[in-house]
A and B are shown apart, each in its own frame.
Chain A
Amino acid sequence: GAVVSQHPSRVICKSGTSVKIECRSLDFQATTMFWYRQFPKQSLMLMATSNEGSKATYEQGVEKDKFLINHASLTLSTLTVTSAHPEDSSFYICSAGDSVGASEQYFGPGTRLTVT
């Protein structure tokens, strides 16, 4: 099956700094990528949808200036958490499909962010 990677798998940063998370599709072209946030033992919450070459579409309640998403190529999307605060600590997961309506999305392994 198709493989999606995320880097880093874990990151610790200080409050007020920014951190970038990468999501890569390794063996297919990902026209669309999705970013999720997950708290322990809770469900995945969709943050935004990014399409290659266009601006991301954010879900209601997600601060677009705080969570910057860039999808500059068909294999790479990045999520930058700006001016991070302890409440931003969470597990971030990306998924990718080869089209908006792709029958299957492929999930990355996730990134655990801890803000101290």
Chain B
Amino acid sequence: AQTVTQSQPEMSVQEAETVTLSCTYDTSESDYYLFWYKQPPSRQMILVIRQEAYKQQNATENRFSVNFQKAAKSFSLKISDSQLGDAAMYFCAYRSANAGGTSYGKLTFGQGTILTVHP
């Protein structure tokens, strides 16, 4: 079974600064997807960024970028120019791309990291 670990229960950053959230995962599969989701106080889950494991290039979405290290099974999220609206709980998630597996389609979430942004 796959596992996802976020070792930082809480992080804080000053507005306009950069912060990196860590995520590691464990899998024996070679083809999979990794995601970062944001859950603000409204508790609506919002997709921040997605990475396909077969792509070596790190995904970026405006101020959000990832550092995907497949061999190390590491998938960190960097938030640049942090804004007050970035304050939320962030979840790293794994999804198998193995159509024949029992976990196909299911998301496995990490424990989450609460990000506080100070003005």
Contact = CB atoms under 8 A, between A and B. Distances in A.
Please classify how large the interface on chain A is, using the bins under 10, 10 to 19, 20 to 34, 35 or more.
20 to 34
A79 interface: no
Please classify how large the interface on chain B is, using the bins under 10, 10 to 19, 20 to 34, 35 or more.
20 to 34
A42 B112 contact: yes
Contacts of B109: 43-44
A103 B99 CA distance: 12
Interface in B79-119: 89, 91, 97, 99, 104-112, 114
B11 interface: no
A101 B97 contact: yes
Interface string A63-102: 0000000000000000000000000000101010100111
Contacts of B114: 41
Contacts of B43: 38, 91, 93, 109-110
Interface of B: 33, 42-45, 47, 50, 89, 91, 97, 99, 104-112, 114
